[in-house]
Amino acid sequence: MTGRHGAAGVRHRTLVAGGELEYRLLPAASGREDQPTLVFLHEGLGSLGLWRRFPDVVCERTGRAGLVWSRHGYGASEVVDRRRTVRYMHDEALDVLPALLDELSVEVPVLVGHSDGASIALIHAGGSGRPVSGVVALAPHVMVEDRSVEGIAEARREYLTTDLPERLARHHDDVDAAFWGWNDVWLDPAFRDWNIEEYLPGVVCPVLLVQCEDDRYGSLEQLERVERGVAGPVSRLVFPAGGHAPHLTHPDEVADAVTSFLARLDAAGG
């Protein structure tokens, strides 16, 4: 599928699950077209653009094609529903993502998810019934911790009292829809029982876990539960410091780890 500018690597739009989504296609290197596409799934306040150069670097190093996109209500993607339910990540993993992959003819992808995007990747890999080559989970959530709620409450304070709305508005057409759609549901008392560990035994592909110990949204218990729960092989990369976005605070180390992970998939025929 081509976009408004008619070339891969620029921003395109497509209608999926009731609203337009923006996306970029990063082309595979010559001779690597048959390798599974890397599909990048952003965090709860992220977007296509907020990945910055990380998808480009990983695709350049590995020669693989990439798909980077913004979920509904983020970036330049259309707002479909301003109020999300506690199952919004399930909806993304089991309804929206499959529809997008089918629309763009992406088969057996490697899912690279950050935060909410990592949770969506794990739900999809474990519960969609669709084949996945591998999962890279950057700061994933599988259950709600006190640390998570405290961090999200602090983000709300920052949104109301600092220039955070102006900074986020550089990356989202409707910044209030992006922020409150995420923040309200995570602070809903009903969300305290959110847990996706039931999907982990269905994750049979290799998994790479990456996190920083000082992540204000989750402890290393998140990684421990993923490692205990999935059926496929797991490798881990943990940094003492770097916050919630290890791919941005440690870009070279994380890109190296992802490149090595994908090389192991290649060697195993994945």
Classify residue 130: in a domain, yes or no.
Answer: yes
- Report the C-alpha gap between 137 and 207 in whole angstroms: 7
pLDDT tens digits for range 135-150: 999 999 999 999 999 9
242 pLDDT band, cuts 50/70/90, is very high
**φ, ψ for residue 233 (rounded to 5)?**
-70, 145
Classify residue 4: in a domain, yes or no.
Answer: no
Classify residue 2: in a domain, yes or no.
Answer: no
Classify residue 78: in a domain, yes or no.
Answer: yes
The CATH number linked to 35 is 3.40.50.1820
The domain tally of the chain equals 1
pTM, two decimal places: 0.95
pLDDT tens digits for range 167-223: 999 999 999 999 999 999 999 999 999 999 999 999 999 999 999 999 999 999 999
Classify residue 5: in a domain, yes or no.
Answer: no
Classify residue 3: in a domain, yes or no.
Answer: no
CA distances in angstroms from 4 to 15, 69, 207, listed in the order given: 13, 15, 35
Classify residue 93: in a domain, yes or no.
Answer: yes
Classify residue 1: in a domain, yes or no.
Answer: no
Residue ranges making up the domain that contains 46: 11-267
Task: For residue 165, give every residue at least 6 positions away whose Cβ sits within 8 Å of its Cβ, in sequence order, or none.
Answer: 159, 175, 176, 179
Structure tokens at 192: 């305290």
Taking Cα atoms as reference points, which of 112, 117, 114, 121 lies closest to residue 139?
114
